[in-house]
Structure 1
Amino acid sequence: MKAPTLLPLDKDKHFGRLVIIFVSVGFIAIFAAGLAAAFAVQRNSEHTAWLIHTYDVERAIGRVDSAVQSMRFARRGYLLDRRPAIREDYAEARGDLQRAIDRVAELTRDNAMQQRLIPQVRALAREMDAMLLFTMAEADAGRMTGIGRRAGDAGSADVSSRIQKATAAMLAEEQRLLGQRVRAQQSSITLFYWALGLGGILLFFVAIGSVATIRHYTSGLMRSRNQLRVLNEDLEGAVRVRTIDLQRANDEIQRFAYIVSHDLRSPLVNVMGFTAELDAATHSLRALIDRAEAEAPAIVTEEARLAAREDLPEAIGFIRTSTQKMDRLINAILRLSREGRRTIAPETLDMVGMFQGVADTLRHRTEEVGATIRIADDLPPMVSDRLAVEQIASNLVENAVKYLRRDRPGIIEVTGQRRGLRVLYQIKDNGRGIDPKDHERVFDLFRRSGEQDQPGEGIGLAHVRALAYRLGGTITVASQLGEGAVFEVNLPAVFAGAGEKDR
């Protein structure tokens, strides 16, 4: 009989190197994405500050024009009705004009072109003020005629027009700067999006590669176990040697799985943290876009609006979904690793009571789908590890309930018998069934078959088989599509430790 081919040591080394590569690439991706995102956020903050500065300058220039008009209206009102209150309104408007010009000068001190226009505006403001004050003084002295009033109106209108031309030039310059700053901000948003997307894609492929490597390694180990079980009937001595080798390989894969899972969790936590920070940053971007749309909708492009409201949230959701899936897979690997290291504690088990307890926990589900669980009252007891056997029973019965057909009442039957030094338990259902080509596949880690309309990661049956092997037993399935399935668990009636063999 051909001896089983166990996993060679060089494959362990290759696996270790792959794990180190994946972890390193994941860490580098997180670090690079974090740096790029931080740089993009910092650049965006700078551009936002300049945009706000531009709005402040435009508002200050607008106050200059408003103050000029207020002075002209106050002067005209004073000529019609020379009340002191109107003269006070004129003085207040003149003060507003001076303050507005000072504010514009302060805000544009870094702009040489604007600074050249400030003295011109000040001179025109003084000229208009002198002209308006002169006409009001003439009116106070009673020397104001209709012709003089019209001449004063024409002169003040001319000066006001020149002031408006100067402020229009200043506004045009601010509009030019605003366009440059908006384009710079859009560039920083685009950089932020690319950094986020590329980092997420790289991490996704790192996760896929890590899981594929671990699954490939675990599948090789499972095949070695199956080959060892076949040789168990005729080659007791060879089995003993192979068992030692297999146990060593099993310990090694459990150790690797534990180390890998912990090493992968560290960068994964960083990814989740950075994703949360990036998600918070998008709120500020959306708030800025909302404000820009409210105050100056012409400067907001469709690309910027889509980037802030759709593209960035979609990219963050993609990363979050990928990291959550990777977290579930890592937890599954850790659970299998811990189960392999747990100490077996044999005790006498009442299998009728155990299966009945499982049925009671699933009662709400069976009542919901109209299913019935029938447990034979002559299930043979056994001496084994309670926690492991409970997990086997729970997984198998729960799977049977989960994959029942909707077009007929579900029936699940649990039977058992003693056969020499071993006990056999069968869990039979009338559910969907399993295609014969998938009978072995369903026991592989992270593998599923049939319609994928039920939650799960393909872990349950792999865990059941690992537990059965740990207890010195096996599990098999007989099924046809649409005709239900029968899972049979073969275990020692009395667990005898690591030396227990099939009889």
Structure 2
Amino acid sequence: MLLRKGRKMAQRMVLGFGVTEGRMGRFLVAAMALGFAALIAAGIAAAWSTARNEAHTRDVNHTYEVELAIDRTRIAIEQSETTRRGFLLTGDPIYLDTYRSTMADLPTLIARIATLTRDNPLQQGNLAKLRALTDDLARQRERTIAAAQRGDRAAALALFVSETSAPRMRAVRTLAGAMAGEEQRLLAIRNAEQRASVRVFYTTLAIAGLLLVLVAAVTLATVLRYTRDLATSRDRVRDFADTLEAQVAERTADLTRANDEIQRFAYIVSHDLRSPLVNVMGFTAELEGAAATLCALIDRAEAHAPEIVTEDARLAAREDLPEAIGFIRSSTQKMDRLINAILKLSREGRRVIAPEPLDLTAMIDGITASLTQQLAQRGATVTVERPLPTIVSDRLATEQIFSNLIENAVKYLDPARVGQIVVRGKRDRARVTFEIEDNGRGIAPNDHSRVFDLFRRSGNQDQPGEGIGLAHVRTLAYRLGGVIDVASELGQGATFRLTLPVALTDATIVATSGKAP
């Protein structure tokens, strides 16, 4: 009633400069549309500029690749000439072998240039000249090498003195320089185009920014005038807000009492769980260093004395140990995230619930995948009766609930039989009931309510844990407007039933945030 009366008062008001509330709304919508148009124009300009930058980067990289290919080819030609001369002067076969190897690589290097410059007719023409020069060089060199191999060093040297390889080499260098210069010319053109595109982008951005500033200034001035004229109305509405403030104060007191338990819970988590977790994370880092040292030792042993390295040692050092460390690190990180979430909840009060559509089938598949190792160790399977109903709820809280329940089912399986875990769901009007059923050791009937209490556990305490999982599940379920219970007999497995609303609404959140169950 209070809010409706205030709205009616505001709607009856007419602004001092003669503009009604409806016209003001239309003006603001038009201003916002103009601002969004400017933003869209800036976004299009940014996308275009980004595409141009990417194209320019590709072109620059291409230029560098062509220049590198040209340099490698020129170096190979000069290196082959050097080794050929070394063979003629010394007769040492090592020079001839190096010459043959270099000349064998030359066609590949030239082919690389051809591939990179296939869209450039000028470079293709230069490449044809380069092939002719290298072929001519190769034939001339083979004649001198053949004379040297026959033992006729005098003829070989005479051919070497009379040949024109030096002019040819100069021609090769000149041609390589011309090809590199062509690439630099193309790069200069591309750089100029890039600078032009950058100027266009900044011009568009400046125009869009100026338009946004103008729209913001006009809108701000209009809103200020509008709010000044509504000041009297707001004062009157404030007089009716006293009762609302009292309700808020009462609700705040309820929230404070509900948060006391969370504060105590977070204190225990921060002191009793974080210390061993920090130790585990520290020793995991030391294990990683030790694993690296061990792998290095295995590498050296394989290099110098491979017979002492067994296959088991090799697999342990290179696969088993890193994999185990990875599982340890992922588990500690998950625990650390949970602790951080609880501590943050303690500092900030209750986390804001953010309902969103959830695909429970995909979520359960992800949780099951994260438990692959534990399932394999216990020879257990998780069966999901598809499809699970979809709901609108908080993702983090829902995932924590199902993770805790499925992990508990895996942890407390009976080793005397093959583990089977089944997840199913059924919708009943505005509620959805999920069941997580296992054939594990079960829970005694007098412990059904006890297992949901904080730090309370039932049965044989042969599994690690502090007894906070199911207590946390119950709290989260209540925050999501749901309830959880268990049906079980000792030695016959257990079935946890979680009931949640199909769609978590603001009213549900308010109703469940006032006090703990």
TM-score where L is the length of structure 1? 0.43
TM-score where L is the length of structure 2? 0.41
Compare relative contact order (CA 8 Å, sep 6+) and give the higher one, 1 or 2.
Answer: 1
